[in-house]
Structure 1
Amino acid sequence: MNEKQLEQTHVDETIELIQIEQNMLDTKQRELTQEMNHSTKDTANHKIRAGSNEAFYESAVEYRQHEQELLLKYHTLEAQQKRLQTLSVMKDSPYFARIDFKEDRETETLYLGIASLRDLAEETIVIDWRAPIANLYYEGEIGPAFYETETDRIDVDLQLKRQFKIQEGRILSMVDTSEVINDDFLLEILDEASSNHMKNIVSTIQKAQNAIIRDTTSKVMLIEGIAGSGKTSTLLQRIAFLLYHNRKWLEAENVLLFSPNHLFSDYISTVLPSLGESGVPTQTFKNYISQLLPEFSLLDEQQQESGFLLGEKDPIQVMKSGLTLVDQIDRYIQSITSYGPLFRDMKINGRTILSRESIRQWYKETNEQLPLHHRLSLLQTKLLKKLGGLQKDETRQQWVKDLAEEQLQELYATDPNLEYTEQKERSLRKKLANQIVRKRFRRIHRGIMNYQFVNITKQYLHFLQTVPLSLLTRHKISETRWQEHLATIRTHLRQRELPQEDAVLFFLLMRRTYPVTVTHKARYIFIDEMQDFAPSQVALLQALFPKANLTFCGDLNQNVFGNETIVGSLEELFVD
């Protein structure tokens, strides 16, 4: 047998091990699914016993334990499913490289793949390309080399670096490399990568890319390079590496990846599984800001593109996408804090329940030492209390009493077994009256909870009206042009529409005015095609996720829209 035949035998044996693990996981999944179905039925039959305090406590503890067991099974099932997806990718190409090295006089052979694989004796057959020891392949040179773990540096003698190209379980090519990956082989892999979907791109990592991918110390990283230089590949590999490196505390949903368009998002979703990861939320910024402002529709960017291609940069759009107006928001908020924002009447069917004059008076009674959004949070609590009092008064209205009486009679008519006593009837009548009023006031309650007593659309328009003339002059915008623009924005707001650059400023103003909850918790943010990502958009992400690590990637000579690029604003965006 020659070397290639021996390696093919090893590939066949590895694929057999993958098949064994797949079969085992399939069996476990079927068993676990059956267990979960039974457990779900048990949950439905599980009753909280209310006979005594002891019985109630015991049954509640049992129910909680049952719930936790069900949740554990669900997570196990989810993990098994993810592993099966990884194994199905590995079955086609179980690994892409091999390293032989001598450590403490013992020679070891390791194969590198998108995930680790062990045999039935728990011996490692394939190691994950992101493991510290895999760095021997990416950066080690034949001869004395080393790799670093979190705590130690381990010196070894690297004896072999071999690269494979495997498809459908067959070795198509096999190359022994020394200091760097063989150029012809690299070209072959990269040529392969230009097909519909990138194949396993892990094997093309070079030293410069590897330094970027494995960097765990930089809070902000900017990768700049021309088209075709491998930036996006490196960005995706960096995501996969960081998810592996921080796997004890970092979940895929804590990573946010912005791509230039939906086609690119679809493409990424096919590449990440080939790197050993999946489930990373990928979206365009337009889609993201739409989720933050669901009540508005964002205007198309087509006009921006055509204007830019004709060489007609819109100075207003340039100003709004930069940091000029972002910086103005803080000054504006300070200027309105003492008087308060623009309030609106809270009405039901044309009847004013809470007038804006009253709301303003209550706002002025809040602690004037506090910032605006804290004062509005206190005002919200005050309004809910006032609403509670108004609801109590409303239950005494004749229309409520009449409707409660009508519903009470219907109850007695439909349920002949209903126990009748004077006290019971009085209690039921009161309960029905409260339900009627609560239903009537539900919209007001929801409005208070969502800070709808602040007229945020008028507030945004007022903010734009207060932009100093000196700033307009600096951006070569005439006062007449600005007034025409404000009239257009007023029309858009009336139609619940916003251009994207206005949506960013609108949301930043809104969250500085009153508390806004964003459910997504991003710890790492990745931005591809950074040249089309405006400074104001970066400022928004920083405001939402001040502790997140940021990685930018792009070609500054390929700006598609007429927006400001982030490069001119780096010192302002990243002071530290």
Structure 2
Amino acid sequence: MSKERSIREEEERRLSEALGVIERRLLKELSVLGERRGDVVGIRQEFWDDVTVNFSDATELGETWSSIVQQAELLAERERSHKVASTAASRLALQRDNPYFARIDFAEAGEGQADRIYIGRSTLVGDDGETFYVYDWRAPVSSLFYDHEPGPASYETPSGTIEGDLTLKRQFVIRGGVLKHVFDTEETIGDDILQAVLSERSDTSMKSIVATIQKEQNRIIRDEKHKLLVVQGAAGSGKTSAALQRIAYLLYRYRDTLTSEQIVLFSPNPVFKGYVSRVLPDLGEANMRQMTFRELIESRLGRRYEVEDLFSQTEALAAAEGTPDGEARERAARYKGSEHFFETVNRYLKRLEREGVRFRPLRFRKDTIVSAEETAERFYGVLGGENFGDRLVKTRRWLNERLDAWVESQLKEPWVEEAAELSDQEDIQRAYVELRREGGYREESFDDEDRISGLLLKRAAENAIAPLRKAVKGFRFMDPLATYGELFRSRTLFTACAPDGRLPLGYEWMAQRAEETLGRKTIDHEDATPLLYVMEALEGFRKVDGEVRHLFVDEAQDYSPFQAAFLRKRFPRARLTVLGDFNQAIYAQAEESGGFGGWTRLVPPEETEVWRLSTSYRSTEPIVRFSKRILKPEDAAGIAPFHRDGEPPRVAECGDGAELADRIAKDAAELLEAGYATIGIIAKTARECGNASAVIKERLADDVPVTLVTGGSANLPKGVSILPSYLSKGIEFDAVLVWDASGSRYGREQDRKLLYTVCTRALHVLRVYSLGVRSPFLPSGYEGDEE
């Protein structure tokens, strides 16, 4: 018998044994799950049958309450038990498909016998509770697989370094519980495994990479020392995958003190959110909180103002391309994202502690209850010697007292009496209950009806001013919009706050624009973060964000230095992991100078670690080499393709729009027929996508799924997706067809990185079409087959 055959039979026996344990455990959990489900349904159906209800006196009321609490606690316990069994069954079902992906044999120093260690997504212990069939990939010993070749090796544990000898390193491909491939390797991760995984067709969601984590990715995943981790990586180098595995590792490593709610991931767009949503559940962990920067802005500003998002700004700048207004706005967007402007706003906020906050009057109909001038006098005059936070709280209390006095003064006014007369039976019943609670409504009392009437009058007045009470409670007696706008109304104020005492280039245009937009309560995207910063500083940052322990920011190159600094202020306790590629910096607000200076200046150098991932694993080698040539040579120098062959990209110039649509529709149909599951047709803007969607649907069969992906889309479907360039960030497709990469669409220097980003979305096939002369950034020698 050959050695290979002997190894395979040995591993098949071991796999069968592990699958037997999984099957027994799964049947047990499913049995428990069925019992608990029945218990929960039964308790819910019979809840009130098992509760003794009696409200006749205080004693009976107490017994009734105890009975309700007892039943509720029983239900909660059964629901918890059901959830635990459900989670265990889901994990075991995943293990049944693919219990493990690697084996290492490790002999600890001083020990003669090497231990066989099988590594998978999660731990599997035998029926005896002691035999480890599978070690979780995040366990300390599992790092040997990622970091070492056979020979002397060591790994870190909480109690110290364990040294020894790695005698075997073996990898498996297991699908559906069947052993497909076995590889012995002397490399950290064998190329055979990588080739097998990377050659698979794309899916509509990102996959776990635990079987193919590279050595440098493993160090990123397991870093526990630094407060800031910066990962600069080429397109397709595994930045996001490593970040998601890092989240899973942290939840495993600190499972007693860290929850998924204390981890926040900022995604570039809603499509990407849906795309990565399955990675952590597939690893047996709950998803972290995930949001876009747009959602953060909307949650605080969206109810008060009409706020432009980044994609709308991008479309507006594209529409105004080459005009004086377009150039002026692009300059303003860059400046308002700069560290200079952040420091200017910081100095302005310090100044607001002494003077300058704009206040809103409290008005009811035509009456001014408290004027803005009175509130300012109270805040800066009477309370001027106290700190800002105490002044806010005491001003809020004083405003509520003024509202109390106003309510009392209105009780005999006709409008209050009219409102009270409209009280329904429920309002009257509530007044009666309130009066009884206060000791009123006794049979011998003669004024109870008057007291109920008084309560109804007061409630009518309070209901009328409820919005004012709510505004006061939320510190909205301040006007952050007017306060922020002052920076652009007063040249003197701006220069006094600027760190260099100078106005920025284009200040006059910014001032005029601010007067137009802020005056009608519409907020340009470049003003949204500075305005939110002013609002948060005035009203107080949310407490819940102070409890976040880890903050992950994907596509960090698209965040301005101002936004980076703002996030640091908003999540003050969080350790930061930021991921990006400055070759994909496609927005006006992105830092022009390159690098991650906006992030690295947030944390001391000794607490910062910068990693660079240069190998691109996503695309085939021909696609990577093609995409590199779009960039400037100095930007492309650090990008290395993984050796995976594929068809060369094609570039074709089309004579008119009909030919462009015909060729792309024909390619899409042929690629779907060839088995490619996801086809991305990527145009520069949303407007172009709308046109492309209409003409492509006309040319494809009715049963071909064609989806127009918009900024509000949350899921990436199979079939043909048509999307604008800026929504493709972080996504990958089996095949990418670039819609109109002509010189008129991608001709400016700032379009170079955008075109690079679009082309690097392709896993296996890339075809680029232009309407007329192609972009000057596209490399030559890739002409498609002309018909």
Q: TM-score range, shorter-chain basis?
A: 0.7 to 0.9
Local SS of the residue matching 1:203: coil
1:460 matched residue in structure 2: 484
Deviation at 1:6, TM superposition (A): 3.1
1:517 matched residue in structure 2: 542
Q: Residues of 2 paired with 1:300 and 1:403: CA distance?
A: 43
The TM-score with structure 1 as length reference comes to 0.87
Deviation at 1:143, TM superposition (A): 3.7
Q: Which moved more, 1:320-329 or 1:62-71?
A: 62-71
Local SS of the residue matching 1:209: helix
2:597 matched residue in structure 1: 568
Deviation at 1:62, TM superposition (A): 7.3
Local SS of the residue matching 2:277: helix
1:497 matched residue in structure 2: 522
Deviation at 1:50, TM superposition (A): 9.5
1:333·1:372 contact (CA, 8 Å) conserved in 2?
no
Q: Residues of 1 paired with 2:313 and 2:558: CA distance?
A: 12
2:205·2:277 contact (CA, 8 Å) conserved in 1?
no
1:101 matched residue in structure 2: 106
Q: Is 1:284 the equivalent of 2:288?
A: no
1:431 matched residue in structure 2: 455
Deviation at 1:367, TM superposition (A): 3.1
Q: Is 1:262 the equivalent of 2:258?
A: no
1:100·1:108 contact (CA, 8 Å) conserved in 2?
yes
2:307 matched residue in structure 1: 298
2:51·2:71 contact (CA, 8 Å) conserved in 1?
no
Local SS of the residue matching 1:362: helix
Q: Alignment identity in percent?
A: 29
Q: Residues of 2 paired with 1:568 and 1:201: CA distance?
A: 29
Q: Residues of 2 paired with 1:354 and 1:119: CA distance?
A: 72
2:570 matched residue in structure 1: 544
In structure 2, relative to structure 1, the CA distance for the partners of 1:353 and 1:99 (3 Å cut) is same
Counterpart residue identity of residue 539, structure 2: Y
Match of 2:584 among 532, 546, 558: 558
In structure 2, relative to structure 1, the CA distance for the partners of 1:550 and 1:479 (3 Å cut) is closer
1:156-171 superposed matches below 5 A: 156-171=164-179
In structure 2, relative to structure 1, the CA distance for the partners of 1:409 and 1:253 (3 Å cut) is closer
Deviation at 1:128, TM superposition (A): 0.8
2:358 matched residue in structure 1: 342
Q: Residues of 2 paired with 1:194 and 1:363: CA distance?
A: 60
Q: Residues of 2 paired with 1:409 and 1:151: CA distance?
A: 69
Q: Is 1:114 the equivalent of 2:121?
A: yes
2:672 matched residue in structure 1: none
In structure 2, relative to structure 1, the CA distance for the partners of 1:408 and 1:428 (3 Å cut) is farther
2:384 matched residue in structure 1: 368
In structure 2, relative to structure 1, the CA distance for the partners of 1:430 and 1:33 (3 Å cut) is farther
- Length, aligned pairs only: 568
Q: Residues of 1 paired with 2:168 and 2:584: CA distance?
A: 41
The TM-score with structure 2 as length reference comes to 0.65
1:366·1:379 contact (CA, 8 Å) conserved in 2?
no
Q: Is 1:88 the equivalent of 2:112?
A: no
Q: Is 1:18 the equivalent of 2:22?
A: yes
Q: Residues of 2 paired with 1:405 and 1:267: CA distance?
A: 57
Q: Residues of 1 paired with 2:117 and 2:390: CA distance?
A: 58
Q: Residues of 1 paired with 2:254 and 2:602: CA distance?
A: 26
In structure 2, relative to structure 1, the CA distance for the partners of 1:472 and 1:70 (3 Å cut) is farther
Local SS of the residue matching 2:180: strand
Q: Residues of 1 paired with 2:354 and 2:208: CA distance?
A: 59
2:760 matched residue in structure 1: none
Q: Residues of 1 paired with 2:359 and 2:18: CA distance?
A: 68
Q: Which moved more, 1:87-96 or 1:523-532?
A: 87-96
CA RMSD, Structure 1 to Structure 2 (Å): 3.5
Q: Which moved more, 1:40-49 or 1:74-83?
A: 40-49
Q: Is 1:507 the equivalent of 2:512?
A: no
In structure 2, relative to structure 1, the CA distance for the partners of 1:364 and 1:62 (3 Å cut) is farther
Q: Residues of 1 paired with 2:418 and 2:62: CA distance?
A: 42
- After superposition, what is the alpha-carbon deviation per residue over 1:326-349, rounded to whole angstroms, capped at 9, x for unaligned? 212232223333345212221223
Local SS of the residue matching 1:158: strand
1:60-209 superposed matches below 5 A: 70-103=75-108, 104-122=111-129, 123-192=131-200, 196-209=204-217
Local SS of the residue matching 1:258: strand
Deviation at 1:475, TM superposition (A): 7.9
Deviation at 1:177, TM superposition (A): 1.9
Counterpart residue identity of residue 6, structure 1: E
Match of 2:11 among 7, 10, 14: 7
2:688 matched residue in structure 1: none
Deviation at 1:165, TM superposition (A): 0.9
Q: Residues of 2 paired with 1:365 and 1:59: CA distance?
A: 56
Unaligned 5+ segments in structure 2 are: 430-440, 606-787
Q: Residues of 1 paired with 2:396 and 2:386: CA distance?
A: 15
1:395-414 superposed matches below 5 A: 395-397=411-413, 399-401=415-417, 404=420
Deviation at 1:173, TM superposition (A): 1.1
Deviation at 1:51, TM superposition (A): 5.3
Unaligned 5+ segments in structure 1 are: none
Counterpart residue identity of residue 346, structure 1: L
- After superposition, what is the alpha-carbon deviation per residue over 1:357-394, rounded to whole angstroms, capped at 9, x for unaligned? 33223324543233434312220111112212322333
Q: Residues of 2 paired with 1:410 and 1:12: CA distance?
A: 68
Counterpart residue identity of residue 99, structure 1: I
Larger helix percent: 1
Deviation at 1:426, TM superposition (A): 3.4
Counterpart residue identity of residue 513, structure 2: H
Q: Residues of 2 paired with 1:445 and 1:315: CA distance?
A: 42
Deviation at 1:107, TM superposition (A): 4.1
Q: Residues of 1 paired with 2:25 and 2:447: CA distance?
A: 68
Match of 1:487 among 503, 515, 535: 515
Q: Residues of 2 paired with 1:217 and 1:193: CA distance?
A: 37
Local SS of the residue matching 1:283: strand
In structure 2, relative to structure 1, the CA distance for the partners of 1:176 and 1:67 (3 Å cut) is same
- After superposition, what is the alpha-carbon deviation per residue over 1:488-538, rounded to whole angstroms, capped at 9, x for unaligned? 3325xx2x4322331111111011122243545421111111111211111
In structure 2, relative to structure 1, the CA distance for the partners of 1:203 and 1:485 (3 Å cut) is same
- After superposition, what is the alpha-carbon deviation per residue over 1:110-166, rounded to whole angstroms, capped at 9, x for unaligned? 221111122322232111100111112222442443333211333343332210011
1:220 matched residue in structure 2: 228
